[in-house]
Structure 1
Amino acid sequence: MVLFLHDFSFKSPEEVLAEVTGGMRMNHGAAPAQAMPGMGGMTGMMGIGAMATDLNDFEFDAYLANDRTLDDPEIVRVDKGGRVLLRAVNASSMTVLWVDLGATRGNLVAVDGGPCQPYSATRFGFAPGQWLDIEIDLPSDGTALPILALREGTRERTGLILAPSSASISRVADLSEAERPAFSRDMTQEASLSAVAPLAPRLTDRRHTVMLGGAMMPYLWTINGENRGNHTPIPARSGERVEVTLYNMSMMAHPMHLHGHAFQVVGIGMQRIAGALRDTVHVPPMNMVTIAFDAGEAASWMFHCHHMGHLQTGMMTELAVSV
């Protein structure tokens, strides 16, 4: 079963971009950033506890689940007490979401198509460009189960409803009672994931440090101080084991997507981990994430932020793989 999520505006993409770049700062959910596990002395050096981070920079007209709102949600008929595999896809252009199962626990078994050791929770976060496979055991009493997608830092939500044929279905409001927390500052989920089939152990042939920068005003975003069209490619040779440390020196999180490769998350802050295999990793503000991969076919592979406003205003480079 697929839960396809996206943000919707009656304005054209050009109008949306003109609004966010025109100094109209939509700063919902901004609050002092929290220190991330493993940052150690770096957190104190940056002083991020006294700084405010940004979550959302545009107000969309609707948030859709399989092209519908909670005014008329999709009803998926299921067996009482059965098990479903939910594939949740965050196809939003600029919105980070939580998938919320209410009081029901689910097991996250894959991220971005990469199987991971089951991670049990009632709520799972993901950024634009990411997708989650969640196993859910349905209520044995035959009641309906809303599967909600919550916009981080706000009250907006969307979703669908899993229901046996005999279940009564209650209306779910499109605003929750309280604002939801920020997934973009919480690395608990990412730090808890581990790949079923991790990268084979080997020495690292090449290391890169990549700086993510930019600001809301002016609305410009960069990689290594450069924007797309004026960027310097990141070099690698086919077959090399490459590690890239992504330092986010901006006040927004960035879902960084590498074309043509699956990588393993091997570091969060200063802490090494044996994390999930992904193609998109969400890098929190004023923090760092390290990824590792084996460089593939000789080609120029796009490497960019999957937040479309950030990509369009500069946050794109390329991994230049040579023979």
Structure 2
Amino acid sequence: MNTLSRRGFLAASAATLSAATVPSLLLPVRPAHADGHKVITAGKRIIEVKGKAANVFGLTQADGSSGLVMNAGENFRVRLNNLIGEPTAIHWHGLTPPWQQDGVAGISQEPIPDGGSHDYDFPVARPGTFWMHSHFGLQEQLMLAAPLIVHDPAESGQDVQEVVVLFHDFTFRDPQEILAELKAGGHDMSAMAPAPAPAAGGHEGHDMSGMSGTAMGTGQSSHDNMDHGAMGGMQMGGGQMAGMSHLQDVQYDALLANDRTLDDPEVFAVEPGGRVRLRLINGAASTNMWLDLGKLEGKLIAVDGMPIEPIKGTRFEFAVAQRLDILLELPKEAAAWPVFAVQEGGRMRTGVVLAAKGASVGKLTEMADEDFPAVGADLEQKLRAAKPLDEKVVTRKHTMMLGEGPNYAWTLDGAMHGQDKPLAVASGDRFELTFMNHTTMSHPMHLHGHHFQVVAVNGKRFAGALRDTVLVPANMGMVTIAFDADNAGKWALHCHHLYHMAGGMMTSMAYND
């Protein structure tokens, strides 16, 4: 009861504080109109993390619910109100709207000023587990994100309970301060692990403000006749050998599941013997995770909202910005079953609990019993799309070099965002894009406005999953994706590690027609 009352006090305090300190919050918020627009408000919140109050952002509807739930076949008719005290732009991650409604500041729209609003209206054809998040500055680290669930009307009669969980990595520090330290001092070298074998070190990342430059030089931008093996001799600054990878840039205070730690996890009431569909979203700014079902075995049925041929397991790789849909057939005994998300290369974890009526929920520790390895491409190579892309002649190919430079510079084809040249595409193209990673870290690469199929890892071809975000392993890892150019416009293409993107690892893809 104390925890609940404390949460209620924090929520009330947040409302009082916001109204008193931010003049824009005194502006009237326009309700949903008769034309069917739902209102989502980007606003300020106070949550509790490890007994301390934390100021964060959020995306909520008028009833206080986080994010949005809708049906495929409906129009995404949303008015977004910005009440966070600064400009913002919100991206509908996984949806394929007209490009002007994609919500990316500097590419598809101007930022929404504080106190302003912006209307969106476009059809949503595909069901799936998607999400919405800020695409402006470092606001995503401050939890300006929420689930975006699109149901399949054909599945409305199924006897399956849905559990939606949004995971975050949380820090009490100012993200701008963290980025400044990264640019001044390079990487945290305590989180190094050998490659290509999965890392097993239990070190947590640290923001290193006193280190000299430790970044690898940028990769070559001319790559048509490149000797891939020649890259093995590249040296990293600071005396570190090539062939080493590191996993964390930032030391986090906690991992969160639906805003909560394992000190006070969210408990979902479930029926023994029932079926549960977990809709899981890795909304972390920079932490790849493992999804750990503990004593349960689950059936992975979709990734990034797109159906796959089911795969059974108890642990699944879960990179930044990716989503996992897992179907559970619960045991018939009345019990409590924790579901964990664990950081790669360490033991820090968070989670939720599925509990039958009357079951005892014991205390859960925030550290796993063992170190979890690096997240790589093992699961990726096992996934197969339920409905792969049609066979089609590839009309355009490009190999994009992922590079790393001094002062926390991250590049695509040798250029940081702002000096980059958009990737050219034409309507009707079947495009194959290969990401080649010359850096010491993995990169979750996200293409806006399209779903792509993973068709090769390290040159090995297969008919992999349809996705919108794929992890490219460190130290010369290669992933090839294929997609149809069927949504004309100008689209963001970037690493979804927030600080890598802020450090320059972002470009665009522009249709020439």
Describe the SS at the equivalent of 1:140.
Answer: coil
- Deviation sequence 1:75-123 (CA, Å, 0-9, x none): 1100012110001101111110111011321111111111011011111
Q: What amino acid does structure 2 have at the position aligned with 1:292?
A: A
Q: Distance in 2 between matches of 1:158 and 1:47?
A: 39
Residue 313 of structure 1 deviates from its aligned partner by 0.7
Partner residue of 1:207? Answer: 397
**Post-superposition offset of 1:30:** 2.1
CA contact (8 A) 2:232 2:242 kept: no
Residue aligning to 1:238: 427
Measure how far apart 1:139 and its partner are.
Answer: 2.3
Range with greater deviation from structure 2 (5-14 or 70-79): 5-14
Deviations 1:40-87 (A, max 9, x none): x96797379972101001001111000000000001100012110001
Alignment partner of 2:182 out of 1, 4, 20: 20
1:303 maps to 493
Q: Which of 30, 43, 47 matches 2:192?
A: 30
Structure-2 separation of matches of 1:28 and 1:261: 37
Structure 1 Cα separation of the partners of residues 330 and 245 of structure 2: 37
- Residue in structure 1 matched with residue 454 of structure 2 by the alignment: 265
Shift of 1:270: 1.4
The counterpart of 1:10, out of the listed 169, 172, 182, is: 172
Give 1:309-320 correspondences, 5 Å limit. Answer: 309-320=499-510
Which residue, 358, 364, 368 being the options, matches 1:172?
364
Which residue is 1:247 aligned to?
Answer: 436
Cα distance change of structure 1 residues 94 and 196 upon mapping to structure 2, 3 Å threshold: same
Aligned with residue 58 of structure 1, among 250, 255, 258: 250
How many Å separate the matches in 2 of 1:35 and 1:119? Answer: 23
Letter in 1 for 2:172: F
Cα offset for 1:24? Answer: 5.8
**Deviation per CA, 1:103-157, whole angstroms, max 9, x where unpaired?**
3211111111110110111111111111110111222222211000100001100
Give the CA deviation at 1:174. 0.4
Unaligned runs of 5+ in 1: none
Q: Distance in 2 between matches of 1:6 and 1:20?
A: 20
Q: For the residues of structure 2 that align with 1:27 and 1:132, how far apart are their CA atoms?
A: 30
Q: Could you tell me how far 1:322 is from its partner in structure 2? A: 2.2
Shift of 1:29: 4.1
The one-letter code matched in structure 2 to 1:182 is A
Aligned to 1:225: 414
Equivalence map 1:149-188=2 (5 Å): 149-183=341-375, 186-188=376-378
Matched, 1:121 2:298: no
Contact 2:291 2:342 in 1 (8 A): yes
Write the letter of the residue equivalent to 2:377: M
Q: Give me the whole-angstrom Cα distance separating, in 1, the residues matched to 2:274 and 2:392.
A: 42
Partner of 1:197: 387
Q: Which runs of 5+ in 2 are unaligned?
A: 1-162, 199-226, 235-240
Q: Distance in 1 between matches of 2:231 and 2:247?
A: 23
Three-state SS of the structure 1 residue aligned to 2:379 is helix
Count of residues paired in the alignment: 316
| Identity within the alignment, % | 47
Conserved? CA contact 2:437–2:478, under 8 Å: yes
Q: 1:90-105, aligned counterparts within 5 Å? A: 90-105=282-297
Name the structure 2 match of 1:46.
232
Task: Measure the CA separation in 2 of the matches of 1:132 and 1:156.
Answer: 20
**Greater RCO (CA < 8 Å, at least 6 residues apart):** 1
Do 2:447 and 2:494's aligned partners in 1 also have CA atoms closer than 8 Å? yes
Distance 2:350 2:388 in 1: 34
d(CA) in 1 for partners of 2:307, 2:488: 26
Q: Distance in 2 between matches of 1:53 and 1:11?
A: 25
Change (3 A) 1:15 1:50: closer
Distance 1:143 1:105, change over 3 A: same
Instruction: Tell me if the contact between 2:232 and 2:243 (Cα under 8 Å) persists in the aligned partners.
Output: no
Q: TM-score, normalised on structure 1?
A: 0.93
8 Å contact from structure 1 (residues 100, 124) kept in 2: yes
Output the aligned Cα RMSD: 1.9
Whether the 8 Å contact between 1:194 and 1:275 is mirrored in structure 2 is yes
Greater radius of gyration (CA)? 2
Could you tell me how far 1:17 is from its partner in structure 2? Answer: 1.0
Match of 1:292 among 478, 482, 495: 482
Asked if the contact 1:29–1:154 (Cα under 8 Å) also holds between the matched residues in 2, the reply is no
Moved more, 270-279 or 49-58: 49-58
1:260 CA drift (Å): 0.3
State whether residues 100 and 149 of structure 1, in contact with CA within 8 Å, keep that contact through their aligned partners in structure 2. Answer: yes
TM-score with structure 2 setting the length = 0.59
Task: Report the secondary structure of 1:22's partner residue.
Answer: helix
**Aligned-residue offset at 1:292:** 0.3
d(CA) in 2 for partners of 1:72 and 1:304? 35
1:219 offset after TM fit, Å? 1.1
